[in-house]
């Protein structure tokens, strides 16, 4: 069964990366461990908080891989300890979050069994760019009325 693309309109050019990101999100695991919160802590700031009781800073890794924030936890079994009952599992986890373009990790800290990862979205720069329109011979519209010749070796006259 073929999948219908959301971005198959000829008016949506260059959205292939966005479509791949949506595919990646839909394929992500939906396992509930560890539980997490996402909160807005400022106009352009977010905090992801994961409940990671029993994990230390050395048991946790945070990486950005292809615009994904990946948090992994791995505890080593202590072979010296002898449990009569083991109800708290030393299990590993991986939790991934797809980051929008421009989102940056500001800091991460572990406090009382909660891992806090602070994210910031910098203010977008307003970009306006004027595109010059060339004439049939390739000269820019600003050169109208001027004679512009093309030299095969040097390019337009006066440039080398």
Dihedral sign for Cα 135, 137, 138, 140, please: negative
State pTM to two decimals. Answer: 0.62
In SS3 terms, the chain reads as CCCCCCCCCCCCCCCHHHHHHHHHHHHCCCCCCCCEEEEEEECCEEEEEEECCCCCHHHEEEEEECCEEEEEECCCCCCCCCCCCCCCCCCCEEEEEECCCCCEEEEEEEECCEEEEEEECCCCCCCCCCCCCECCCCCEHHHCCCCCCEECCCEECCCC
Q: Residue-wise pLDDT tens for the chain (160 aa)? A: 455 566 666 666 676 766 766 666 565 555 678 899 999 999 999 999 999 988 999 999 999 998 899 999 998 877 888 888 887 767 789 999 989 888 999 999 999 999 999 999 888 778 888 989 988 875 554 555 554 444 444 444 444 4
Domain 33-120 fold is Immunoglobulin-like (2.60.40)
């Amino acid at each position: 069964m073929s999948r219908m693309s959301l971005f198959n309109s000829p008016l949506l050019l260059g959205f292939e990366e966005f479509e791949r990101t949506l595919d990646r999100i839909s394929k992500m695991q939906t396992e509930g461990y560890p539980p997490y919160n996402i909160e807005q802590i400022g106009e352009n700031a977010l905090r992801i908080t994961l409940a990671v009781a029993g994990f230390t800073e050395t048991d946790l890794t945070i990486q950005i891989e292809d615009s994904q924030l990946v948090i992994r936890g791995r505890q080593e079994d202590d072979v010296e300890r002898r449990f009569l009952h083991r109800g708290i599992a030393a299990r590993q986890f991986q939790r991934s979050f797809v980051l929008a373009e421009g989102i940056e990790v500001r800091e991460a800290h572990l406090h009382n069994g909660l891992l806090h990862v602070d994210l910031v979205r910098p203010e977008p720069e307003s970009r306006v760019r004027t595109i010059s329109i060339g004439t049939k011979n390739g000269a820019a519209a600003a050169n109208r009325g001027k004679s512009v010749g093309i030299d095969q070796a040097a390019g337009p006259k006066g440039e080398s």
